[in-house]
Structures are given as C-alpha cells and as structure tokens.
Structure 1
Amino acid sequence: MSLSAFFRWLERHFRNTALMILFLAALNLGVYVLVLATGGIKYVYSHSMYIPILLAGFIFGARGGVLAGLAGGVVLGPFMPIETATGEPQLLLNWVYRTGLFTLIGLFNGVAVEMLRLQLRENEWLARHDPFTRLPNRVALMEYIEASGREGGVAGTTSSALFAVFAENLMEVGATFGVRISDEIMVQMHDRLLSLFPHGTPVFSPQPRELSVILPCRGPDEAREEMDRISAAMKEPFVLPDMSLHVEAVTGCVMLEKNGEDGHSVLRKADIAAHTAGRKGEESLLYDSELDGTIAENLEMLGALKGAMEKGELLLHYQPKVSMGDGRVVGAESLLRWMHPVRGLVYPGSFVPQAEKSNLMNALTEWVVNAALDQVVRWREEGIILSLAVNVSARDLTSPRFGEMILEALTRRGLDGESLELEITESAIMEDPQQAIELLKRFSDVRVVISIDDFGTGYSSLQYLSRFPATVIKVDQSFVRNLRSDDGARHIIDAAVRLAHALGMEVVVEGVESEETFEMLREMGCDIAQGYGVSPPLSEEDFRGWFFSRAMNG
C-alpha cells in the first residue's frame, strides 16, 4: 500500500470526531496507568506520552496533535505525583511547561503531516493532469477505462466507443503565437466537447494536441454520428484575445470490446484512425483492423528508407518531355523508385508522404538531386543533352541547407543551372511565399529552371505568381484527363496557357495519354507534353534506347 493510499484509508476510518476523542482518551489513559504503575513522573516511562501525541498528529493532523498534547500534559500533570512511593506532587511550573512542550510537539508533527498529505494529493493530481492545461491526462484515461471495464461499461451501458480528437495544426499555432495560445485552444476544445455530451462526461488529454472521450454507443453508425457532431463543433473558429484561429481537427474512433481490452491498446487504435483520417484528408474515421497493417508497413518502410539510400536500393526512372511544336525531346522528369529486397519495385506513393513529415525528406531530395545530375553527366558523355526535373517538397524549401546543396551539386559536376529543373507545387510555395521567392531567385540567377507543378490545384495568389522567378507552368493532369468531356477543364487549360504566355512562361501538360489529346493541347497553345501517350517512365537503359530510336526515326 502506498503512503497516499494509507492516508486515504486513515481519513475514511478516523474522520469521526467522537472516535478521535475516544482514541486519544484511551491512549492517554494507557500511558497514565503505565507511568503510575512504574513509579511516577520522575522515571523514564513518562516519555511514552510522546507516542499518543505523535500518533494523533499523524492520524488527525494539527488538530489531533494539539489536543493530544494538551490531554497528555493534563494527564501527567496535577494527577501524577513525582514519585508514587512518597506521593510528592509536581510543581505547577513543571507540568505547565511539560504541557506546553507536548502541545508544540503535537502541533508541529500535525502540521508536517498535513503538508505531507497536501503534497501527496498534489502529486497524485499532477500524475493524472496536464499541469499547463489542467486537463485529465493519459493516466486518468487509463484508470477510467479500467474502471469502466470493471463496472461493465460507461454509464451503465454494455457498448461504448473511444473518440480521439487530434488538432493537426496546433504545433504550428504554438510556434507562431506561443504555447500559451495553443494551451488555451486545447482548453477551449475541451470545453466544446463537454458542451456536446451529458453532464459529468469526462474529457481527457492523453497527449499534446489530442483530446479523448468515451461515450456509450450502440454501434458504428451511432459512433459516426458522434464523430460528425465533434467535427462540426471543431470547425467553428476559436476566439482568443485580438484574434480568431481555425484548428484542423480530425477524429478517430474505436468501439470498445466487451472483454475489457487494455486501455493503451484502445487508445492506440483511436490514434491510428485519427492519423489515417488526417493523412487521407478526411475529418473522421472509424478504426478498422486493416489500418494496423497499413500504419505498421508505412513506419517500417520509413525506418528502412535511410538504409536504402546507403545500400543503393533507390533508383530513378525518367519520363520524357517533348516539344509540341516539333516533337523534340527537351527534357525528362526524374521519378524515384525503390528496389526493395522483399517487396520488389516500390513506387514513391508508398514512402514519400511519410518521408515528407520527417527529416528524411531533406536527405531523400538531396539523394535524388545528386543522382539526377550524375545522370545528366553520363548522358552528356553519350551525346544526350537534356535537363532533368526533380520534385521539391515544402520541407525542402524551408531547409536552410537546400539552396547551398543545389548550387554545390551543380558546381561539383561543372554543370550549368539549365541542366536542372525544380518542380515545386503551388501549395509548397505558399507555405512561406516570401522565403520561397528569395530562394527561387537564387536559383534563377544561375539559370536553374523553376517549374510550378500541379498548376491549378493549389491556392496560389496571382500577386505572388507574378513575382515567382518561374519559367514553366505545369498543368495538372486532372484537367488533361477530363479535356474531352469537361468544358470547364478546357477553359482552365486555355486560361493557364494565356496567363503563362503573358508572363513569359512555357506550359507543360502532364497526363497526355493519346494522340488526340496531344493534338487538342497543341492547338490550344501548350508547349511541352509529358505522359504515357509520349512515353511511360523508363529506366536509364530503356530511356537511352528510346531516345536514340526516336532521334533515328525523326
């Protein structure tokens, strides 16, 4: 039994005042009999009175210690002779002094014990609450799940669900406005959840940026309804002094098993559902056992990625770009592949999204840039004079080493900037437009080709677009795919072509799958085509053969 548990036991069994008085009276009477029987106050047994005084202070605190001290002083005072054999009484000053000493000892002991109890209660509270938001934490949640399992469910029900609400952009809010603002948002999110559910429903904060609540649910359909309610509540802006902020909240849910599943396992499943929902761009998701395998596989792939770079398991394929005017091959896009020793050829969609959320993305981009430029050098030795395009992520643009890495890679190989094209999405640029513009101007100064990738799908501002040192706009393939059936897609491509040409840029269209589509886009004024209608991505050897075959056939 812990000390805290022992104190709680004492408080339950000795909180009655009458019981306290009887207990102290019995102890004092016992000491009185002992001292009297052993010869009187002059003998050592009189010190045994400290036992009930200290015990009373320990059990009842300062009040009990003081009362025990006063009672002990009186018991061993006028009613106790110095020596029973002679019957000599004590001097008044002696027993008054002794009474005062007993009282002080009882007081100090009781105060010390009360301070200890207070500290233990505070430690227990801190163990179950976040000290900054003051919200119940993971320990409290685990205890609640365990208690609910013992009692047969939440609120007397036999079926319930755990909901995990994750604030995806709260770290960004904290970095921008300070952690006190992010803490305040967590408190407001907590209050909103409390307002949605019956009074007394506890809401927990098991980890930073996450809230959890357990609700009675009869099945998955009811759980989805609750998730919709939670998502709707989190969409409202959070009002703070001098500002209102939006929080990107995702919700994961797992139905609780009737066999009393371990709380940590339950929370892990809800977290998996929430993080999967965020990765898919959804507001909420109900846990399914298949998610376990997907998450584990993604983490395993990410863990093996660094080793793959060192072991030479990564490689590039190249998808050609051709001029729509004369059919010349004008470049190619470098597409990353992973020759996994177990899974075989793995495409970037299986590992790049996870890498973009980690520091591995910078190392991965550096590997691709160096591999692409090495390829440029090898091809030039064979008479293939082409630039290669490399995709750049938002994490790359914010890396302090990225600019130097690009320039050093070109200088080390004696290549000019036109040998390399950087494809950057609108959304990546718009995360920090000013910083992106300054970095891209450095590249433009050495004639590195800047291409705005997936144009039309992001949220760039025309004000910034005119300032970007880009020379290429790459129209997203989703518009090309619907070209023949969607008038809106044709108008968007036409507008993009006019805008690009007005700004002195070339237009690349990706996703060109047929000769008919090629001709339509050429007539609309597009400059360069890329897609399976031109060529699928090719290995180094296949690209070499394709290039020389095309050159020979005119």
Structure 2
Amino acid sequence: MPSSWRLFLTYAGASLVPVALLGLMLSVALGGEARSRGLGEGRDQATLIARTTIEPQLDGRPLTRAMPGAELQALHRLTDRAVSAGSIVRMRLRDTNGRVVFSDDGSGFNDGSRFNDEDEALDAAHGKVVAHLTHLNADRNDTGPAGQRVVEVYVPLSTDGPVLGVLEIYLPYAPIAAEISAGLRTLYLVLGIGLAALWAILALISASTMRRMVHLAQHDALTGLPNRTLFQRRAAAAIEAAERDGGTAAVVLADVDRFKEVNDTLGHHNGDALLGELASRLATAVRPGDTVARLGGDEFGLVLPGIGSDEIRTLLDRLRAVLEAEATVGTLPLSPEASFGYALAPADGTDVDTLLRRADMAMYLAKGTRTGTARYDRTRDHYDAAQLALVAELRRAIETGELVLFYQPKAELRTGRVCAVEALLRWQHPVRGTVPPDAFLPVAEKTGLIDALTRWVLATALAQVVAWGPAFEGLSMSVNVSARNLARPDFADTVLAALSAAGVPASRLVVEITETALMTDPEVAADVLARLSTAGVRISVDDFGQGQTSLGYLSTLPLHELKIDKSFVGDLPDNLGHAAIVRSVVDLGHNLGLQVVAEGVETHQTVALLTATGCDVAQGYLLARPMPADDLVPWLADHRAGALTVEH
C-alpha cells in the first residue's frame, strides 16, 4: 500500500475518534434533554390536576383544617378512577406543616413525617413546583418494596392567595418515556446520519489534502515537475530494473548556460517564466515513462529507463535542440543554451548518488568543452575517498599555515634578465609530507574550496612582494587562477581588493589563466578580464596549445601574454612538429601584440631554438627550480643581470 494511502487511512481513523466523541456527547446531551422534557411534562400534568381538580375542592380552605367527609370521598373516587386508568400511580395531600391529610392508598398517615430542610414538599409549601424521576416507594418515609419508575411532583395548592397545602403526586413515567423515546430515535437517526456525513466530508477533505500534500512534497512549485525527492525514487527504480533485467538506465543533468544573466538583466520574474517554458518543453519532448525533474535553480534532472548507450546521444541532442529553440520572455526573444551530462547504470554506477555526481561531472565537462552533451569519463574523475579527505584537511590547512608558496623565476631570452616570478602553491602536510598541487587542486576546484585557496594565494604572493622590497622592484608576480574563479562575475573585485589591501600596483600582478578557463563561461570571463586589464593587471594565457580556444575569440580579449605549454617545449630540439607549433605560436602572439613565454625550458639547446624563433621569455629548470621566498633573494642577487646563457 502506498505511503500516501497509509497516511490517509491513519488520518481518517484518527478523525473518526473526535466524531465519535462528539456523537457520544450529543447523545448524552439529548438524553439529558429528554429527561428534562419528561419532568416538564410530569410537572405540567401535576399542575393541571392541582388547578382543575384539587383546588376547586378546597374552596380556599387550608389543609390544616380537617376535610369534610364528602370531599374526601369525592377525592377517593377521583383518584381511584385515575389510578385505574393508569394516569396516576399515587396521590397525597399534605398540609403546610407536612402532615398527610389525604392518601389514595392510605399510606403516609402514620409515618410521622414532617418537613425538613431537604424535603421537596418544603419547597412546594413555599410556592415552588418540584419534580424529579424516582421509583415508587423510594422515599425514606415510604414502606414496601420499590416499584415502577415514576415522576414524583410536589405542587403548591392555592386559590389566588396563600398556599393552602401541597399536592404530592406520582405519575407513571413509562408513557412519557415512550413518547420521548420515539422522538429520540428520530433524533439519534438524524444525528447518526449527520455525523456519518460529517466524517465522510472530513475524510474526503483529508484525502484531497493528502493528495495535494503528497503532490507538493514531490513536485516543484514553480514548474510542476517532480522534485529531487521523486526524481531520486524514480532513478532508484530505473537502476534496480536495469540490474534485474540486464538492461541500462541513464541519469541526466541538464543546466541552462548563463541563466544568471537572464535573472540579473530581466529580473527573477522573467527568469522564472523562462524556466517554466523550458520545463514544459522537456516534459513534452521525452519518451513515455521518462522522468523530467527540476532539481533546483536552472538545473533539470532526467531519468531515462531502458535506454541504450547507442541511442541516448540522439535523444539528448534532440532534447537540447528543443531547449535551445527561441523563447520569448516578456517581449524579448531569447535563444537559451543548455549543457547535458549523463551517466549510465550499471556501467557508470549502481546507486543514485554516484550516478548524479558523475552526471554532474559530465555536465561540467560539456560546459567546459562547449560540446553541449557529454558522458561521464572515468579518466577525468578526480574524486575518491582519499582525495575528499584531503579536501577536508585542506580547509584546515588554509587556517593553520600548512600552505606555502614557492617561486620560480622567468627571464628574458634576449638579455637573460630576470623579469618576473610565478607563485606556485605547495602543501606541507604534517603527516603526508609535501602534497603536490595536482593531488588536491582539481578536487578543491570541484568543491568550491578553490575560491578560498585563490584568495589565500593572492594575499600571500602580494604580501611577499611587499616583504621583498627594493630587491624585487620592477619584477612582476604571476598568480594562477582557475576556471571556477574566472566564472565568478565578482572575481575582478576580489583581485583588486587584494591589490589594494597589500598596497601593490596592479601593473606588477600577472593573472595566469588556462584556455579551458576562458571557455567555461566566455562572456563572464571576458568581462572579468576587461575589468582587470583596465585596472592595470596583466593577463596571461597559460598552457597555450592544450585547449580549443577560437583564435577569433582570443583576439577580442585584453591579453598581454601567451605561455607555450611545456609539452611542446620539452622535446623541441628533437620534434620537428613541436618546433613548427612553437614558431607558429610565437608568430601568432607577436601578431596579436602579445609577449610569448616558453615553459619547461631545461636545456641550452632549447634556449637557442627559442631565441631563434623570437620567443620573449623562458621559464624552467635550466633557469631555476621553484624555491621558497627566503631563498629567492640571494638567488636573485647572483642571477639578476644574466640568468640565461646560450651555448653556441
């Protein structure tokens, strides 16, 4: 049984309890009201007898005076007929002192009864009609066994004057009860039907409410699509079915590229409208049985059960085309773009969390390579338990001084003069020893810790420039930044704030970025670089030749330097192809007005070849290995004038 129905039945059962209690309370109240009505009818009957039969016989004479024999006989005849007819059970007359002066059955004369403070007859002697339910012979002054149930009534007797005496009369309750019971049965029937209808209405309302609550708990309020909770449940079912049947299932993440710009430019209302439109497109374009969910923000998730690896690319390309069709937001036509990443079960994982994480990695790969769609690639997966533990320790290391910067000089090839240094991060782990950057930086970038690392590197490198003082005057400091840093619109503010805090001129800082970082979010990157360049910060493209940067795009950026990747430089004397690439990059850089730097220079022969091509700056082990800050000052004193020599 689904949990929603169990919840409904529980609620329906729980609501039955107060309804039943309400019915019990109303039944008790109706029973009490019926008894009150019975007493009222008995009181009315007794009062009628007193006024129409007894008082006329008294003719204004108090009962303390003896009744004439003729009146007593008349009363006996009257009461005998009434008793025989069953309209009364017993009748007595008492004087105002409580003494019985008449009794139809002869009882009560010799009991010596008088009024006491609790006697109902006392109240009647003072002008009050008193009635209550009892049994015959139940009074303490009565003799004989208790009899039938009766209404015992005490009525004051008077003829528009003082009380003459008290009528004590016992009326049969059975006829009254029968009449009342007939009415009560009708009332109980109506009450039962009403309460049953009330419970049914409450049950229907609760069922509707439960259905809506379950829907809201499992669906996104903006788009109406399944949310993360329902997505994970359906993904788990699809994975289980794939394993059971020997098939496959896909978990897909789709992200709207540059959606933040829509929100920032057109407002969140229009951003929500665009998300609603894209959600509707996805939901109508998938296959029957597929699930489209909104996982948060501009991220959608898809569960594609029973899909093969040979057909998923076709489906995702079609879905991407559907998403990227022009949409009108407000009055503005937009052409949204999306990136899809997917992982297949069971090949890429057999649980939802693993497949989601790997689909997320694939999506960022699709964004970075601008391919639009990518599958999880195990060779690019930098996550494992040990590395995640390293990240947790790295967070602590930033605060405890375990991180250090080493510095590697750069020298002009033409003069041999040292012109700059590059700050390189090292982690001196108290247990693991020196941890290389490649072991923790990729995971740090994925977890967002890269932002804190970059701020630390900037602050430390600029503080070191100040600490070195005149010995470094005129030298530039290069700092590497990641794709994630460059994708943050406020990154330029972070860099300029660090320069201001250190008191270092912007012209002495070189920000090194990779081609991949440039292509992760080109528009944001271009804006960040433009702000930095305007402020005087120099921009260098690191590892040039390894990425896929469009030359047309490259020419539009405010760049100052190209760094040829060391993979082309290391074997330069022996690899004619790499030599041709190096010459082409040098010519390209110079044609764009950029300085060209060669990384990985380790031999004098390489220096000679680079010099011949016109390369401007060299960096590598031939010049110097990265070194601590304290070692750089004496090294610089020995090598400042001419650090590179060329063998002829």
Query: Given the two structures, how large is their TM-score scaled by the length of structure 2?
Result: 0.58
Tell me the CA shift for residue 336 of structure 1: 1.0
Structure 2, unmatched stretches of 5+, are 13-33, 35-174, 265-269, 328-332, 367-372, 644-648
5 Å-filtered alignment, 1:74-223, equals 110=201, 113-141=203-231, 144=234, 154=241, 158-169=245-256, 172=259, 175=263, 178-194=271-287, 199=288, 201-205=289-293, 207-208=295-296, 209-213=299-303, 215-216=305-306
Task: Give a deviation string over 1:439-478, Cα, whole Å, max 9, x none.
Answer: 224432xxx444333445353665774662x443323334
Answer with 390-399 or 542-551: which moved more.
542-551
Contact 2:223 2:276 in 1 (8 A): yes
Structure 2 residue aligned with 1:249, among 340, 352, 362? 340
CA distance in 1, matches of 2:625, 2:207: 73
Aligned to 1:48: 188
Contact 2:218 2:229 in 1 (8 A): yes
User: What is the aligned residue count?
Assistant: 453
Task: Give a deviation string over 1:318-368, Cα, whole Å, max 9, x none.
Answer: 222121113222222111112223333223333334444566444322321
CA distance in 1, matches of 2:486, 2:243: 49
The residue identity in structure 1 corresponding to 2:186 is S
5 Å-filtered alignment, 1:61-460, equals 110=201, 113-141=203-231, 144=234, 154=241, 158-169=245-256, 172=259, 175=263, 178-194=271-287, 199=288, 201-205=289-293, 207-208=295-296, 209-213=299-303, 215-216=305-306, 224-225=309-310, 227-236=312-321, 238=323, 239-241=325-327, 242-255=333-346, 266-278=351-363, 283-285=374-376, 294-356=383-445, 360-380=449-469, 386-392=475-481, 393-395=485-487, 398-399=490-491, 401-411=493-503, 415-425=504-514, 428=517, 430-432=522-524, 435-436=527-528, 438-444=530-536, 448-456=537-545, 457=547, 459=549
Change (3 A) 1:438 1:367: same
Aligned to 2:149: none
CA distance in 1, matches of 2:184, 2:532: 91
Aligned to 2:29: none
Contact 2:414 2:611 in 1 (8 A): yes
Query: Given the two structures, how large is their TM-score scaled by the length of structure 1?
Result: 0.67
Change (3 A) 1:251 1:38: farther
CA distance in 2, matches of 1:318, 1:202: 54
Tell me the CA shift for residue 167 of structure 1: 1.6
Tell me the CA shift for residue 55 of structure 1: 5.4
Contact 1:254 1:269 in 2 (8 A): no
The residue identity in structure 1 corresponding to 2:197 is G
Answer with 383-392 or 366-375: which moved more.
383-392
Q: Which has the larger radius of gyration?
A: 2
The residue identity in structure 2 corresponding to 1:250 is G
Contact 1:164 1:252 in 2 (8 A): yes
Contact 1:362 1:396 in 2 (8 A): no
Matched position secondary structure for 1:431: helix
Q: Give the root-mean-square deviation of aligned CA atoms.
A: 4.4
Identity %: 28
The residue identity in structure 2 corresponding to 1:266 is D
Tell me the CA shift for residue 315 of structure 1: 0.7
5 Å-filtered alignment, 1:476-491, equals 476-480=565-569, 483=572, 489-491=578-580
Tell me the CA shift for residue 298 of structure 1: 4.3
Task: Give a deviation string over 1:258-316, Cα, whole Å, max 9, x none.
Answer: xxx9xxx821121122134345568113889x97x934444444444342222111111
The residue identity in structure 1 corresponding to 2:499 is L
* Structure (1 or 2) with the greater helix fraction: 1
Task: Give a deviation string over 1:506-527, Cα, whole Å, max 9, x none.
Answer: 2112233433332222111001
Task: Give a deviation string over 1:48-96, Cα, whole Å, max 9, x none.
Answer: 224542355357x6xxxxxxxxxxxxxxxxxxxxxxxxxxxxxxxxxxx
Matched position secondary structure for 2:250: strand
